[in-house]
Structure formats: structure tokens, C-alpha cells
Amino acid sequence: MIRSGLLVIILYSALISGTELTFELPDNEKQCFYEDLEEGVKFEIDFQVIAGGNYDVDCFVTDPLGNTLYEERKKQYDSFTHTTALKGVYKVCFSNEFSTFSHKTVYLDFRAGEETPLLPDMNRATALTQMESACLSIHEILKVVSDTQTWYRLREAQDRIRAEDLNDRVSFWSGGETLILFLVSLGQVLILKSFFSEKKANVATST
């Protein structure tokens, strides 16, 4: 019976409508995503900039008629929920046009549609059995685990990129300091050498 319950959860998770991706957004460019939705469909958008510049990006969401449903500028992360009033193609755009040299990496999670009941007869008037209650409990826990894992993956990616950027800066600064130290040492040697050369020239003149 437990295997059957887990099978139901796995099949249910496969039927969830959503898109989760990480994409590159070069400087001075805009990238858009399109989704064809029916009327009365609820969709949710979560995004976060995980690398590049000040970790910010412009985001716009428009309906099939071009009306702006959501517009935020220079956001590091945000969420947006909306229920469609029209049938058609909805557009989600991310813009990095305000940046002249910062390349961005953006995470996007797009979910559309209401969750269907986990069990076929879940809406019945009678109370749920112990097995059905256990399945629902496991399902809710798995959703929390999935969201937590996604959050930790984003944090790990963001921290790793920052660490690599800091390492590059430290390496560049160390190389620059080494070069400056070499040039200063070489200059001091040349200056000291010029002092002895002048003394030799003075001695030769006096004799």
C-alpha cells in the first residue's frame, strides 16, 4: 500500500505544469519567454539574479493585449502571482539594457494552473483514510523539501560565483602589487647604481 501511495505522488508531481530554468542575460540585451494560457488560469513567477553586476534586472509581464501586469526595475529577486482574464500568449521579459558591461545570470520559476487533487476522490464528503492522510502529509513535506533545496541551490550558486569573483580580484591585485614591487626595486637599484657611477666619474675628473 505504501508503494502505491508513493507512486501516486510521483505521478502527481509529473503532471504539475511549470518551467524552471537558469539563463544568461548579456549586457544591453533583453530576453522574453512566452506562455499560451487559457482564461482563468492562475500563474506564479519567481525570479532571482544569481550572478553579475549588482545582482539586479528589470522584469516585465504583459497580457495578450500588451497590457502591463507587472513591472519592476533593478530587482534582485521577486515573486508575482496573477489569474488570467484573457486567453492568449502571456509574455515575461527580463531586461539588462541599463547595464553597459555586466553580464547577468537569472533563475526563473514559472508555474501555471491550479493544483489538482492528489487523490481522485479527495473531495468526497467522507473523511480521509489513514493511508490518504499519510500520502497528503508526505506530499506537503516533499513540496517544502523541494522549495528548500531550490533555495539552497540558488544560494550556493550565488555564493560560489561571488567567491570566484573575489578570488579573481585578489589574484589580480596580488599580481599588480608584485609588478609594482618589482618596478620599485628595479628603480632603487638603478638609482643606487647612478650614485656610484657619478662618484667614479668625479674621481676620474679630479685625477
Q: Render pLDDT for 60-107 as a digit per residue (tens, 0 to 9).
A: 999 999 999 999 999 988 899 999 999 999 999 999 999 888 888 899
What is d(CA 23, CA 168) in angstroms, rounded to the nearest whole number?
23
Q: Tell me, what's the pLDDT at 201?
A: 56
> 18, 104, 89: which is closest to 59 by C-alpha?
104
3-class DSSP state of 64: coil
Number of Cβ atoms within 10 Å of the Cβ of 91: 16
Bridge partners, 104 (sequence order): 25
Q: What are phi and psi of 129, to 5 degrees?
A: -75, 170
Q: Tell me, what's the pLDDT at 141?
A: 82
Q: Tell me, what's the pLDDT at 118?
A: 60
What is d(CA 177, CA 86) in angstroms, rounded to the nearest whole number?
62
3-class DSSP state of 35: strand
- Cell numbers placing 49: 539574479
Query: Which residues, 6+ apart, have CB-to-CB distance to 155 below 8 Å?
Result: none
Residues composing the chain: 207
Q: Which of 98-112, 127-141, 165-179, 180-194 has the lowest mean pLDDT?
A: 127-141
Work out the mean pLDDT of the chain and round it to a whole number. 79
pLDDT (tens digit, 9 = 90+) per residue, 122-150? 555 556 677 777 777 787 788 778 777 87
Yes or no: say if 39 and 90 are a contact pair by the CB < 8 Å rule: no
Question: Angle at which helices 2-15 and 130-206 pack, to 10 degrees?
Answer: 60
Q: Tell me, what's the pLDDT at 34?
A: 93
Q: What are phi and psi of 205, to 5 degrees?
A: -70, -45
